[in-house]
Amino acid sequence: MKKTIKLEAIDPIEIYGAGNKILTEFCSYFPNLKVVARGHDLILDGKENDLAEFQVRLEELIQRRHHKMNLTVYDVEDIFDGESAPDKFRLNGDAIIVHGTDGKPIRARNKTQQEMVKAYFDNDLVFAVGPAGTGKTYIAIALAVRALKNREIRRIILTRPAVEAGERLGFLPGDLKDKLDPYLQPLYDALEDMIPSKKLQDFMADGTIQIAPLAYMRGRTLDRACVILDEAQNTNLVQLKMFLTRMGTSAKFIVTGDATQIDLPRRSDSGLLTGIRLLKDLKGIATITFTSEDIVRHPLVTKIVKAFDRMAEGSESEE
């Protein structure tokens, strides 16, 4: 059965992509359908149910274009593998978030990570708290990279408090950047998994991606950006308020932290859990809580975390 679909009131290149890249990706989901693009016409040849499905999905792609500056192959993936919603291009929990530099798809690996992905699309501020190894920061950065690639945001800003975890900054060699880079290295590592090295260097050179200590956020207004505060358990309440009030228009903020790994001189100075309690009833804010069951590193990490948790519980019961 043959059918011709005419693209009206839209430039075909906006749907086909450069070199027909987007159209090729789209057609890959219809292996039994023959598709020929001729200007504004798409000539289809195949079974009736495939023709009908193609037309429905194509209309979804066109609707996405009306809500975005440009389409990418990731929009095609969202339509077929994600949850279709042109206004936010949201994903369901187990859909591909983004592809890594090695081509491997990055997606939520457990139920709590899936909840975090969903929360990101329903809220402008997400708190993700829980033990090390649960993938909080990695998922946050994947969501930010996806938004940047889809041109939903103009920049990614990653920040951490420069708090010493038993070491002294002053004894490290080099200038201030050299001293701080080790604290920010986990953020670099995650980005390098998702953005080719040369492209990442370009993004950092032109300010599209910024990685900086929390103190550098003061006085800024961050519009149309995905901003991630990592290791937030090492912020006091004043610092947390300063960070959250940087939120500008069309911005997404993600705050990650582990309340069991506070490196401040006094554990009581940490403002993370207090901040979450203060804001818990506000619309547009979500809190996702990870546990040791959500750890996605080596299996021993789960056992190690549980052992330390038991020790901490024992200490508290003795006081």
pLDDT per residue rounded down to tens, the chain (319 residues): 889 999 887 888 888 988 899 999 999 989 899 999 999 999 999 999 989 999 999 998 888 877 666 788 877 877 876 544 434 455 666 678 888 888 888 989 899 999 999 999 889 999 999 998 899 999 999 999 998 887 788 899 999 887 644 344 444 455 555 556 676 788 889 999 999 889 899 999 999 999 888 888 888 889 989 999 999 999 999 999 999 999 998 899 999 999 888 888 888 889 999 999 999 999 999 999 999 889 887 778 778 877 887 776 665 555 5
pLDDT given for residue 285 in this prediction: 96
* Contact in structure between 166 and 158 (CB atoms under 8 Å): no
Sign of CA dihedral 252, 257, 263, 269: positive
* Distance of alpha carbon 8 from alpha carbon 75, whole angstroms: 20
Question: Terminus-to-terminus CA distance in the chain, angstroms?
Answer: 78
Q: Report how far residue 26's alpha carbon sits from residue 59's, in angstroms, rounded to the nearest whole number.
A: 12
Is residue 22 within 8 A of residue 16, CB to CB? The reply is: yes
Residues 142, 95: Cα–Cα separation, whole Å: 12
The β-bridge relationship of strands 96-99 and 105-107 is antiparallel
Record the tokens describing residue 34, joined without a space: 């023959």
Which structural domains are found in the chain, ordered by start? 2-81 (3.30.1370), 97-318 (3.40.50.300)
User: What is the pairing mode between strands 41-45 and 34-38?
Assistant: antiparallel
Prediction pTM value: 0.68
C-beta contacts of 291-296 below 8 A and 24+ residues apart: 291/112, 291/130, 291/131, 291/134, 292/131, 294/110, 294/111, 294/112, 294/113, 294/130, 294/134, 294/135, 295/131, 295/132, 295/133, 295/134, 296/109, 296/110, 296/113, 296/133, 296/134, 296/135
